[in-house]
Amino acid sequence: MRILGIETSCDETGVAIYDSKLGVLINNIYSQISTHSKYGGVVPELAARSHNENIISLIKDALLKTNSSKNNINGIAYTAGPGLVGSLLVGASIAKSLAYAWNIPVITINHMEGHLLSPMLNNNKLSFPFLALLVSGKHTQLIRANNIGDYNLLGESLDDAVGEVFDKIAIALGLKYPGGLSLSMLADRGFSNKYTFPKPLINKPNLMFSFSGLKTSVINTIYSLSNINYQDKANIARSFEDTIIEILVSKCAKAIHTSKLKKLVIAGGVSANNKLRFHLHSMMSKKQGILFYPNKELCTDNGVMIAYAGLLHLRNGKYNNLETSINPNWQIYSINYN
C-alpha cells in the first residue's frame, strides 16, 4: 500500500507519502515559524492562510519526486483533529477532493494518534499494548495503547501543556518563539539547584499533571531579578527544565508500576528533549522496561505519522466517507470509525 498523508493541524504544513514496503518516500514540511515568531505564538488566521497557499505545491512536489499518482496511491490520510479549525479545514478539503477525484479511500486521523504511533516507524520491536507519554505544545497525556484505535486516557494536564509552558518561559527569558530548544540549550549552561520551583501533583497517587503554578513561579522569579544576567537566566532555565523532567518521569514511573507494562513510548514535540529521553530511559532500565521514541525529525508535526497511521487503519478496513469532517477537540480516547 502507498498512502498520501496530509497534516495541517496547527502551523506546519506536512505532506508525505509512505509505502508499506519501501517506507518513507518523501516528507515535505513547510514551517511557519518565521510568520508567527513575531507574535510570540500561532495566529490561527495566518496559519490557515499559509496552509492554503502551500499545500498544493507540496502535494505536487511529493507526487512528482516519488513517481506517484492516482494509479498507485491507495489511500489518503489527513489530520481531522485536534487542532485549529481553519487549518484543519484546509487539509480536510484537499484530502476529500483528491479522494473523490481519484476514487480511493480517505482516512481521518487523530493528530495525537499520529504522534503515538510514530515510534513504530523506526522501532520494529514496539507492539501493543504499551504506555505512551504524549507531550506537545497543546497536550500532556498518559495513554494506555491497547491496539490501533483503542486507547485509554490515564492522566493529562489540568491546565497548561508542557510544550506551552516551555515556550512561555522561553519568552520570559528573552528567547524567540518557539523557545523549547533554545531554553534547553540555555539550561545546559546553568547550574542545578540554584532555584527551587514547585512540583504540582507530583506526590499525588493519580496520574494527572498541572503546570500553571510552576509556570507562574518561574516567571515571577525572572521578573523579581532587577539585574538579571546570562548566568541567572541559565540557572533558572536549568532548574525549570529539571523540575519538568522530574514531574514527567515520576508520573510515568507510577503508570508503569500500576499497569505492569514494560514498554513506554514518548512522542510529540517535547519528546525531542535529550535530557527527558535520558531520564526516562534510566527509569525504564531500572524497571527492566524499554523506552521508545520517534526519530527527531518526526517529533514535530509531520505528514509521515499521518500517512503511517492511515495505513494501519486502512489495513484494518477502517476508512471514512467523502463528507468533509473535522473535530478541533477530537480526543485520542474517543476514536471511532463506526
Average confidence (pLDDT) over 8-19 = 97
Q: State how far the Cα of 203 lies from the Cα of 205, in Å rounded to an integer.
A: 6
Clarify whether residues 193 and 227 are in a common domain: yes
Within a domain: 244: yes
Give the chain's mean pLDDT. Answer: 95
Q: Residue 261 and residue 263: Cα distance in Å, rounded? A: 6
CA dist 51 and 279 (Å) reads 37
Instruction: Express each pLDDT in 208-231 by its tens digit.
Output: 999 999 999 999 999 999 999 999
Phi, psi of 209 (to 5 degrees): -120, 160
> Are residues 307 and 229 both part of a single domain?
no
Percent of the chain with pLDDT over 70: 99
> Quick check: is 274 in a domain?
yes
Q: Which domain holds residue 276?
A: 127-293
Question: Whose CA is closest to 26, among 8, 6, 12, 11?
Answer: 6
Same domain for 288 and 303, yes or no, is: no
Q: Are residues 286 and 140 in the same domain?
A: yes
The total domain count for the chain is: 2
Distance from C-alpha of 114 to C-alpha of 151, rounded to nearest angstrom: 13
pLDDT of residue 179: 86
Does 160 share its domain with 286? yes
Domain assignment present for 272: yes
Cell numbers representing residue 225 in the block: 531579578
pLDDT grade for 176, boundaries at 50, 70 and 90: confident
Residue 42 lies in a domain: yes
- Same domain (yes/no): 223, 81: no
Cell numbers representing residue 325 in the block:
469532517
- Bridge pairing between strands 2-7 and 75-81: parallel
Same domain, 139 and 288: yes
pLDDT value of residue 337: 55
Task: List the one residue out of 131, 92, 136, 77 whose CA is nearest residue 257.
Answer: 131
DSSP string computed for 123-146: -TT--SSEEEEEESSS-EEEEEEE
Give the pLDDT confidence of 75-125 residue by residue, as tens digits.
999 999 999 999 999 999 999 999 999 999 999 999 999 999 999 999 989
In this structure, the answer to whether residues 32 and 153 fall within a common structural domain is no
121, part of any domain: no
User: Which triple of cell numbers denotes residue 48?
Assistant: 490557515
Instruction: Let me know if residue 122 belongs to a domain.
Output: no
pLDDT at 317 over 50: yes
Please name which of 270, 265, 238, 239 lies closest in space to residue 252, comparing C-alpha atoms. 265
pLDDT band for 34, please (50, 70, 90 cuts). Answer: confident
Query: Cα(305)–Cα(79) distance, rounded to whole angstroms?
Result: 10
* Domain shared by 13 and 109, yes or no: yes
CATH number at residue 48: 3.30.420.40
